[in-house]
């Protein structure tokens, strides 16, 4: 569930709390949680954490030792979290990585019950290869011209494009729903057929929604907690996500749920379908068919 705003919240707290700390020791609960770089684990002992950053939905710790910088990348996946201390004993079973640190925060834990995310220990070259392989444009850093050209070149569904991590990195189902609703765009609209003014509205809305969510600490819809155990408050500002059957806050029509690769929540009055894909075929992330509408009570 963690998406860009949640990952940015985690990175911000790490910068605030553990920057300058030295890694005194490390513990790996199971070797397969480290997808790459396990043999370099010993290097990190004695390294100083100099900052933290974000790549898409992943969080990166920057460690420095002997004038060299290496990186610990934590994929949050669907359920991955980083904690300064476990919220309660039920979390202990699914802690897979633990770092013992100097300073005011003695530990950092990587928790991931479903293990969809992994950890990578990489040098600079490895990080560059990892980023190039896994992540497209960052939605908060992509320029208007880049975004316009990117959308204009795509023939698939708009929502699938927003969620395609190798094209636009960091947006998942929650924020795709909110962005499209506030942009007044149906998720099945064909990206490359949107007028330029509509693409500009989408661009501005995308940045506004993500920045607002970051300010609110992300959305704690299911499991998300920040490293200090706090919950994201942006869930209280969701307009359509998971609100099927409720009235649209703009026009009063019923919000509906569309079923495709992920659930979409739309107001068909504010987000008219427009022209849909006419035949089965691969969209922006390989989906085969347009979504079908499903009414919920």
SS3 119: strand
Which of 208, 55, 53, 51 lies closest to 137 in space, CA to CA?
55
Spot the catalytic one: 15, 45, 262, 273.
262
Could you confirm whether 278 is annotated as catalytic?
no
The whole-angstrom separation of Cα 2 and Cα 10 is 10
In this structure, what DSSP letter does residue 230 have? P
**Is 262 in the active site?**
yes
Neighbours of 212 (CB within 10 A): 13
Rounded distance, CA 199 to CA 185, Å? 10
Q: Which pair of tokens denotes residue 54?
A: 């974000």
Catalytic residue among 5, 6, 54, 57: 57
Residue 32 is classified by DSSP as G
* No. of helices (H) and no. of strands (E), the chain: 6, 12
Instruction: Decide the pairing of beta strands 23-28 and 95-101.
Output: antiparallel
| Positive or negative torsion for Cα 200, 12, 57, 185 | negative
Is residue 3 among the annotated active site residues? Answer: yes
Residue written as token pair 């969701």: 238
DSSP state of 162: H
Which residues are part of the catalytic machinery? 2-3, 57, 262
């Amino acid at each position: 569930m963690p998406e860009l705003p949640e990952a940015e919240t985690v990175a911000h707290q790490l910068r605030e709390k553990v920057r300058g700390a030295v890694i005194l020791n490390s513990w790996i609960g199971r070797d397969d949680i480290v997808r790459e770089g396990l043999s370099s684990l010993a290097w990190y002992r004695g390294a100083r954490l100099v900052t933290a950053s974000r790549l898409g939905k992943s969080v990166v710790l920057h460690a420095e030792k002997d004038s060299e910088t290496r990186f610990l990348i934590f994929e949050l996946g669907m359920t991955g979290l980083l904690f300064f201390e476990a919220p309660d004993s039920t979390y202990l079973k699914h802690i897979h990585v633990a770092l013992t640190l100097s300073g005011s925060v003695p530990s950092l834990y990587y928790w991931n019950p479903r293990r969809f995310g992994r950890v990578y220990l990489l040098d600079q070259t490895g990080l560059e290869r990892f980023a190039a392989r896994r992540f497209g444009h960052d939605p908060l850093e992509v320029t208007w011209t880049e975004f316009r050209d990117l959308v204009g070149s795509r023939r698939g569904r708009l929502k699938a494009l927003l969620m395609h991590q190798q094209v636009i990195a960091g947006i998942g189902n929650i924020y795709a729903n909110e962005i499209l609703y506030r942009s007044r765009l149906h998720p099945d609209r064909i990206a490359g057929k949107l007028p330029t003014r509509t693409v500009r509205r989408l661009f501005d809305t995308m940045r506004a929604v993500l920045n607002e969510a970051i300010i609110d600490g992300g959305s704690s819809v299911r499991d998300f907690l920040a490293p200090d155990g706090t919950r994201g408050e942006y869930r209280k500002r969701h307009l359509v996500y998971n609100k099927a059957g409720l009235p649209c806050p703009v026009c009063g029509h019923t919000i509906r749920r569309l079923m495709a690769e992920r659930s979409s929540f739309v107001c068909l009055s504010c987000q008219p379908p427009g022209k849909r894909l006419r035949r089965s075929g691969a969209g922006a992330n390989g989906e085969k068919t347009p979504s079908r509408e499903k009414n919920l009570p």
